[in-house]
Amino acid sequence: MKIASWNVNSIKARLETVMEVLKSIDCDVICLQEIKCETDGFPYLEIEDLGYSVEALGQKSYNGVAILSRLPIEDVQRGLPGNEDDEQARYIEATIGGDTPFRVASIYLPNGNPFPGEKFEYKLNWMTHLRARAKELLAWEMPVVLAGDYNVIPTDDDCWDPAVWADDALAQPESRAALRAIQNLGYTEAYDCLDGRSHQYTFWDYQKGAWQKDHGIRIDHLLLSPETADLASSVEIYKSARGLTKPSDHVPIIGTFEEG
């Protein structure tokens, strides 16, 4: 099974590019973030024509997440459990059927800028709720993939120039510690486990020629429960998506898993 995570930065604005990439990566499950449309406004028909079922949680103009699957989607959870007061569309979770069912979440974690401030506190609070849900899911004793744009640069080796990002919410010690706290529950970060090379990125800003200069950061992650990590065989950052016409500023990260 191939499971991808991709922040598309507006699915309607980039639908032609999204369709091209979905055909190229040929994944069984794709977790999308920042769809930037209301739930009813998602381009269901176009995506379904590619053979995917779609579950989405959107809001007007901002945020929004979705799960696309070629396998049955069941028991859909919209919104982060325990964080019901949050009005932003940042979390959707479902069971993906197959010989080995997976529990998969698509996550668009808050950016947290400007730092310091209320938005950064919101980010850390949101991560606390995510950790609580991640802990609950471990008790299910089934393969779990927490996929998404975490808006956290794990280490200085995951950005092109640490000095440039030193005052950014994505690189703060508190942000990194909150991500490690989730991993310390027993989750494995797929890229670290299966590749681990430094200075490999999933995001390049549209400004200042960042893509052409390879001035990127790695903020899109697949966190795997122990059951999933045992099935993991490879991970790929689909970098070529950034070079397409009208690209997202993110590219997909793809994990491949054997079905036990």
In this structure, what token pair is assigned to residue 127? Answer: 């991560």
H runs (alpha helix) in the chain? 15-25, 44-48, 118-138, 173-183, 190-194, 210-213, 226-229
- For the stretch 40-61, pLDDT in tens is 999 999 999 999 999 999 999 9
- What element of type H or E holds 191? helix 190-194
β-partners of residue 1 are: none
Structural domain boundaries, residue 121: 2-257
> Which residues, including other chains, have CB under 8 Å from residue 82's CB and lie 6 or more apart?
129, 132, 133
- For the stretch 193-231, pLDDT in tens is 999 999 999 999 999 999 999 999 999 999 999 999 999
Give the pLDDT mean for 111-127. Answer: 98
What percent of the chain lies above the pLDDT cut of 90?
98
d(CA 250, CA 171): 17
pLDDT band, very low/low/confident/very high, at 99 (cuts 50, 70, 90)? confident
Which CATH number characterizes residue 229's domain? 3.60.10.10
Domain count, the chain: 1
Task: Round to the nearest angstrom and report the end-to-end CA distance of the chain.
Answer: 10
Q: Nearest-CA neighbor of 227 among 133, 145, 143?
A: 143
pLDDT band, very low/low/confident/very high, at 78 (cuts 50, 70, 90)? very high
